[in-house]
Structures are given as C-alpha cells and as structure tokens.
Amino acid sequence: MAVSPNIRIGIPLPSTPYTYHRLPMSTLSYPFFFFYSSPPRALRFHSPPTRHRPLSLRPKASVETPAASGKLVENVVIIGSGPAGYTAAIYAARANLKPVVFEGYQVGGVPGGQLMTTTEVENFPGFPDGITGPDLMDRMRRQAERWGAELFQEDVEHIDVRSNPFTIQSSEREVKCHSVIFATGATAKRLRLPREDEFWSRGISACAICDGASPLFKGQVLAVVGGGDTATEEAIYLTKYARHVHLLVRRDQLRASKAMQDRVYNNPNITLHFNTEAVDVVSNTKGQMSGILTRRIDTGEESVLEAKGLFYGIGHSPNSQLLQGQVELDSSGYVLVEEGTAKTSVEGVFAAGDVQDHEWRQAVTAAGSGCIAALSVERYLVRNDLLVEFHQPQTEEVKKELTDRDIQEGFDITLTKHKGQYALRKLYHESPRLICVLYTSPTCGPCRTLKPILSKVA
C-alpha cells in the first residue's frame, strides 16, 4: 500500500520533543492500539517518556508470601509462559493454589512464548475476526494475574526435582515447591551454515515477524527455508514487504496444512523450489549478503540464488535443558508424558505445551495441555495431603472491554479519539484529517523492534 500523506506515527524516542515519521500503512497495521485524529494543522507533543508498568502482584492471603520470604513451600511453580503456561496459571489460581510463574523471556525482551512473534492468530476459538499473538498473550497474562497468579519476569537457571520439595532457582530468587509445571516451549532451529554466525541479524533470521519489515529486507528478494506451516506462514508474511519470496523445500512436496499450501500456491509473489537445500550464503565486495548457495537434493547441482535475506522455518527444538538427567526425554529432547496426561516420569512434575508436543504445536492444544497440567497438580496435591489453599480477597468487578462489534457500531468519524483497527481503517480511507498513532503496549515485541528502527531515522 502506498504511503499516506495524512498519517504520521509517533513512539517515544530517547529525547523530547518527539519526532513523527511517515511510514507505510502496512507498518501500522500490527502494533496499533489507539490514536487521536485532529484537524489538519501543525501538532507538537511533549509527552513524558513511557515507563513499563511494574508487576502488580495481587495479595492472596494473610500468609507470608513464600516466593518473597523463601521460608515456605509453594503449592506449584509454573516455568514458562505462552498459552500453556498462562492457561495453567489461570486454572491453578482459580483453584486457590496461588501459583508462582516464572515467565522467562522471548523475542523483544518480553514473556509470552512464540505467539509474541505471530501476527494474526485466526484459529483460536472465541475470536471470529482473529487476534494478534501479543494481544492474545497479554489477555491471558492479565487473566492469570487477576485470579492471583504471582508472576515474575525472570529466567529459571536451575531446578532440582530429585526430591520433594523441589527447588527452583531463578536469576533473582530461590523457591521451594511441591509440584512443577514445565511449559518452556520450543525454540526455532538453525541450519548451522558455514557463514551463519557472520550474517545472523545481517541477512539471516529465524523470525519473519520481527525482522521482515526492517530496512535491511524491505523491497528485497528474500528466501525462506522449510516446507511446514512455519515456513509457509513466514513466506506469506514476507510478501507484504519483499519484492519476491523464494521458498526452499528439501522434499518434493510441502508438509504444511492444506489451507497454508493453498495460500502459497495462489500467491504470485512466492516461487517454490522443491528438492532444494541451502548450503551457504554469498556476499558481495562490500560484505553484504547478496545470495544463497543452493544444492539440488536429487542431482547434487549447486547454484546461487539471488537474495538479500534468508529466513529459517525449519521447526523447533524443545527447551528442556533444565530437565536433562532428571526427567525422561525422547531422542529429540521432548519431555515424555503419559498418554492423555501431563505426568512426567517424576511424580509431582508435569509438562505442558510445545516442550512435550512434537506433533501438533498449536496454541489451542498448548492451552489445553496447560489446563490438564493444572488440574493434575491439584489432584496430586490433594492425594498426597500437600495442598495449602489460599483464598482470594474480594476484588472489584472488572470492567468489560468493548468488543470490535461495539467499536464498529458506536464509531463516529467526527470524534477526535478512537480505538481499534476498524477505526484506523475508516479514518485512513474516509477522513481528510491528520492522524497521530500512539503505541502504548509494553508487552508488544514488534513495537520494541520498531523503536530502534525509528530512532535511527530520527
């Protein structure tokens, strides 16, 4: 879409007053939250720098908080966030278990798992028009926090589940607990090309959502490696910014779902290369990536494919390193659980999400396994007479948020303050007024990716 002359965006940069930069409409479509429109005139904003909201830990009982004191034993510790971790936290908190959650970090320095790098989630129940990954994770996180889950944005560095109570050591505290839910997810695999480290983040990436819109790749010919849903989704996403996208597939057919295959085959900006693998990257005399050395699987013939960027979509490795030598893992490192349950080989240790699921790897299945894990923990604690129940204090009723339908039905183009993507689209196409877009979410990974990019052009 062409650059609109009547749209300017602003995010807080290192100094004030802030500068507003013209960007393509496509750049605004994802990390958008609310904005103001005004008559066409010069605008100047002097806003104080935004600060991240500190964690608000809801008091849950008169009992001293174990995670803070280190003297008591927690009912359950949940390691990891994402759909599995947050769902487990919601169910455990509603059961008055007062779960402690170590969220860990993901792309952009925020928790939330792989969905923090996903644009539209169109198959999660309850959202007929889809929802962005970061928005879905933020809602789950707030729901867990509302019910009393104790959230820490810290990485766990060591765990000991050889004897109960278990010991969890994070970057800032040590916690004892009677049960653990391991929901650390999986990490994107790399090809380990000879020059991969040299060009990592300078031409090679494993996250199209994070890097696809950057000046390094925008308007260039790009390539994606892989044949599954991850690779096809990244290829389709990159067509928003790239001049053309090549999809390199080692096999003679795609492994992606039928819906994703149809989208790839029907996209004129994607060229498929079957029986082809990436061997290395090629650079020009300036040291910039200029192409990919490819090899035909069937003939062994090598050739150079012109491309300024290479994106990996070749699957994931489970983040199960903390459990090695303590809990049974399969040959690929996935945590082994009893079929239909979240139980691992160690009593009191449960696993949920992609760290134990090498087949489905969906947000909804991860959430379901998180639910199973939390319910299993409650039964385990009751059965072994280990449960300490914490009752929630009475809290004010949470104000219901407006739905997209509410926003559409109540939309008035003459107002100066609007919220939602529907209003942005309406104003963009129908209003002659200057539109100022303000980013406000501290948990949006792409927003954090955009900030240094905008800082460079300020």
Selection from 144, 151, 171, 175 nearest residue 56 by Cα: 151
Type of residue at 244: H
Intrachain domains 74-186+317-384 and 195-314 with the same fold: yes
**The pair of three-digit structure tokens given for residue 63, joined into one six-digit string:** 């009992």
pLDDT tens over the chain, length 458 residues:
444 444 444 444 443 343 434 444 344 443 433 343 333 333 333 333 333 333 333 333 333 444 544 458 999 999 998 999 999 999 999 999 999 999 986 544 446 566 765 556 778 899 998 888 888 999 999 999 999 999 998 899 999 999 999 999 998 999 999 999 999 998 878 899 999 989 987 899 888 876 788 889 999 999 999 999 989 999 999 999 999 999 999 999 999 999 999 999 999 999 999 999 999 999 999 999 999 999 999 999 999 999 999 999 998 889 999 999 999 999 999 999 999 999 999 999 999 999 999 888 788 999 999 999 999 999 999 999 999 888 766 555 555 565 655 566 667 777 777 777 677 777 777 888 787 776 555 555 556 555 555 555 44
Query: What is the pLDDT, as a whole number, of residue 111?
Result: 60
- The ranges assigned to domains in the chain are 74-186+317-384, 195-314, 403-455
Which CATH topology does 74-186+317-384 take?
Answer: FAD/NAD(P)-binding domain (3.50.50)
CA atoms within 13 A on the CB side of 136: 28
* Cβ proximity of 242 and 252 under 8 Å: no
* Cβ proximity of 201 and 227 under 8 Å: no
- Distances in Å between the Cα of 438 and the Cα atoms of 9, 42, 244 are 7, 17, 31
CA atoms within 13 A on the CB side of 228: 10
Query: What is the pLDDT, as a whole number, of residue 214?
Result: 83
Query: What is the pLDDT, as a whole number, of residue 433?
Result: 79
Q: For the whole model, what pTM was predicted?
A: 0.63
* CB within 8 Å of 422: residues ≥ 6 apart: 404, 407, 408, 411
* CB within 8 Å of 165: residues ≥ 6 apart: 73, 176, 177, 178
Query: What is the pLDDT, as a whole number, of residue 2?
Result: 44
DSSP H helices, 107-252, are 133-146, 196-199, 208-211, 229-238
DSSP H helices, 282-403, are 363-383
* Cβ proximity of 223 and 193 under 8 Å: no
CATH number of 195-314: 3.50.50.60
| Active-site amino acid positions | 444, 447
Strands 204-205 and 309-312: parallel
Query: What is the pLDDT, as a whole number, of residue 201?
Result: 79
